Structure 1
């Protein structure tokens, strides 16, 4: 049997030890929905043709993932580590930019790739747009990419009926990974600042909801500006609430953080190159077992298989927190929806600017009485602020000032970097001024009979700085 001490040591090596290096890189990943403007399912043959065209044009990109049908679903440039791939299904494209030290370099390459891909899709009356939920999802075929990882993931999300006697309900969208899109940022954080970074950034999640929400479930729920939160929380990823959302605790030190990692659930491992799914269970419970019964995909069907836990299985621990630790020694911020394309770099700029301003940010939030000290946790506040109406106990003028104060701190941090990246915060100031965000703006315009097609076009436009 694997001991708790062995698990603790392996967790440290996987997630904490990499933060001992002092680095200062930024990683940006932007997922973007693909739409068929004929209001039919996305044509996967078109997707594969666009992929081939991209590779012919950008000759440095090499095949990085080929599905069981022989189609390329991931391309990688080994020179700069940029990846252009499809996420979960061929309805969703992702631009994962290789790490850089300034946002202008990232933005230049992203803009180039996005423009080429969008123009290529439009030759077939398809397009891309900057929304956190595909507004044409109801027309699409929600089929997983036939690859080892994505088949495993979808199988896990469809397994809700296997869980009994747990205090939660599951939503009806196990395919949500095929129609929801995020804008994620990875930032190098040194070990000495790791705990404090998580503590402080966790407390501004409600403000981030106010600034960045952009996932409206068109035709089904036009009252939540960020429906993505519920898609994660009420799925099999949320069987253990510690695996998703916010931390809801203040960590005292690295020991506290490690204890939290031990509280997470694991639901898959690999053996002989194949993923094996099993019922989501606590990490320590998993390692205490002599064997676990799981399921493996084999020639179109799933069959039962028995595995023996191995300490190296920690490599497959996959929490989806709003703030995640990665094996790269980075902190990954995952709670933000894909933004209107012209505002794409605002997400990374916001986080990069605040990274080294923890003193100012912590003082602001600690002394805040606009949303805090009113009986609500940060998680509860975020849930309130992803609705189209702000609760009566919150003064809107004061909330806008608080939001501006946070963005001002980010701006100061960017100005101190001396590169000029603060220009990417401009959309956030405009949202604060207009008391809106992309999700709320979409709800208002749709209620005012602006066509969905107009919104799709507007949110898909690129801007060049």
Structure 2
């Protein structure tokens, strides 16, 4: 069976990287919906705004919750999707594959201007933050459909698993309803696959300094709390499902073996999601049966089912560099950015992809952050916090980050679309030794109200 599993992993994740195809970009941006009155988001307002949006832009409804409310809609011409991620206070715009970033930027800005004009009628706004600033005010309830009901139930099951893993679970299992990411998918070729995983893994600590934008008062040490919330939840029950790879991946066979050690925690039978205690793929497919539970429209019921190789479809991982079935790497670690700077994440990764081996040389020779005994995994966590380690030389970090940004700009210039201008806000952050979360907290300490930052980060 193990051989069959390895072949299925190869067919799903590796084979697509061997196909000749144009280089496309896929961008997904999640954004908090904020009630500016300081009251919880009324899901009826979000639903009404989405309905106005799909009518105005000619989208076609593609998903409903169990109450018949819209959850997603798609534009047939562009492939763009509007959806609600986990709940009705987290709105996501996903863009059909594009050749250049300005295609996406134009539509993103058009969509956000319309959405915020509609939200403004109710005293609401979309804003560019990685944590909803009203996370402790909103209801934080899942959308009532199979997927999100299952996910919410699964994440809240952590108390009964506390003694099974050597990990401290946090006490915000509702985090999926108030965290927002900026994600980019880029095509990857077979011969570059392990280098992309390894090199961009080394880059993660520097990205934490650039893009941190998720502050939650529950965990005041963090400027980027999103990743911790994922890693110290049931999603991180198996550490191979989240975060970084932890060590250099030496080749394709090792990457396939690594995927075999990732855990599956849900599947579907007869149109219903089943969740269960996470099992590595190797363990899951070696079993004759697995016991889980499903929602029968009234309560959760126990069920025993037989694993099928098609259950590989339900492997859901949240690696910072996540290999997908499309032959792409999805870069998942960045927070939603201020909306006027929303494309910085995609521009940064797209430019550096063009300069992979120059980036590899910079990072493998790095003695700015990598010369003090900490590895990339440890550094990413350290540099996600407000207080940086004392050994960090901020001037040296500024110089190194500028060098990396220059490389990204060169990569974008090579593409010939003028996209390098999208990096301008990042140069400002590096020069000022800041990021959106730090800028907000520094402002609040000076007496600037949080609402000012919500509105500032909402501007397109």
Moved more, 247-256 or 3-12: 247-256
Gaps of 5+ in 2: none
Match of 1:438 in 2: 436
> 1:162 Cα deviation (Å)?
2.3
> 1:253 Cα deviation (Å)?
1.1
Q: What is the distance in 1 between the residues matched to 2:229 and 2:164? A: 20
Match of 1:311 in 2: 309
Alignment of 1:26 onto 2:42: no
Match of 2:35 in 1: 36
Match of 1:169 in 2: 168
Match of 1:347 in 2: 345
Q: What is the distance in 1 between the residues matched to 2:134 and 2:153? A: 23
Q: 1:147 aligns with which of 134, 145, 148?
A: 145
Q: What is the distance in 1 between the residues matched to 2:35 and 2:459? A: 17
> 1:220 Cα deviation (Å)?
2.9
Q: What is the distance in 1 between the residues matched to 2:394 and 2:135? A: 33
Q: What is the distance in 1 between the residues matched to 2:103 and 2:127? A: 22
Match of 2:81 in 1: 83
Q: What is the distance in 2 between the residues matched to 1:433 and 1:174? A: 37
Match of 1:62 in 2: 60
- Residues 140, 174 of structure 2: 8 Å contact kept: yes
Partner of 1:354, secondary structure, is helix
Q: What is the distance in 2 between the residues matched to 1:30 and 1:50? A: 17
Q: What is the distance in 2 between the residues matched to 1:251 and 1:405? A: 25
Q: CA deviation digits over 1:147-190, x for unaligned, max 9?
A: 11111111110110221331111111111010000000000111
Match of 1:263 in 2: 261
Match of 1:326 in 2: 324
> 1:272 Cα deviation (Å)?
1.4
Q: What is the distance in 2 between the residues matched to 1:249 and 1:427? A: 32
Q: What is the distance in 1 between the residues matched to 2:90 and 2:239? A: 26
- Residues 354, 412 of structure 2: 8 Å contact kept: no
Q: CA deviation digits over 1:31-57, x for unaligned, max 9?
A: 000011111110111111111111221
Q: 1:299 aligns with which of 297, 300, 303?
A: 297
Alignment of 1:201 onto 2:212: no
> 1:81 Cα deviation (Å)?
0.9
Q: 1:231 aligns with which of 229, 232, 235?
A: 229
Q: What is the distance in 2 between the residues matched to 1:182 and 1:300? A: 32
Q: What is the distance in 2 between the residues matched to 1:68 and 1:51? A: 17
Q: What is the distance in 1 between the residues matched to 2:120 and 2:229? A: 30
- Residues 223, 443 of structure 1: 8 Å contact kept: no
Alignment of 1:117 onto 2:92: no
> 1:62 Cα deviation (Å)?
0.8
Match of 2:387 in 1: 389
Partner of 1:461, secondary structure, is coil
Partner of 1:460, secondary structure, is coil
Alignment of 1:133 onto 2:125: no
- Residues 222, 443 of structure 1: 8 Å contact kept: no
Q: What is the distance in 1 between the residues matched to 2:356 and 2:124? A: 43
Gaps of 5+ in 1: none
Moved more, 67-76 or 387-396: 387-396
Partner of 2:457, secondary structure, is helix
Aligned length: 458
Partner of 2:95, secondary structure, is strand
Q: What is the distance in 2 between the residues matched to 1:165 and 1:457? A: 44
> 1:363 Cα deviation (Å)?
0.8
> 1:387 Cα deviation (Å)?
1.4
Match of 2:215 in 1: 216
Partner of 2:48, secondary structure, is helix
Match of 2:46 in 1: 47
> 1:356 Cα deviation (Å)?
2.0
Alignment of 1:180 onto 2:198: no
Q: What is the distance in 2 between the residues matched to 1:373 and 1:264? A: 31
Q: What is the distance in 1 between the residues matched to 2:457 and 2:39? A: 20
Superposed CA RMSD:
0.9
Partner of 1:117, secondary structure, is helix
1:246–1:186 Cα change, 3 Å = same
Task: Give TM-score scaled by structure 1 length.
Answer: 0.97
Match of 1:5 in 2: 3
Structure 1 runs, 4 residues or longer, greater than 2 Å off: 219-223
Q: What is the distance in 2 between the residues matched to 1:165 and 1:282? A: 14
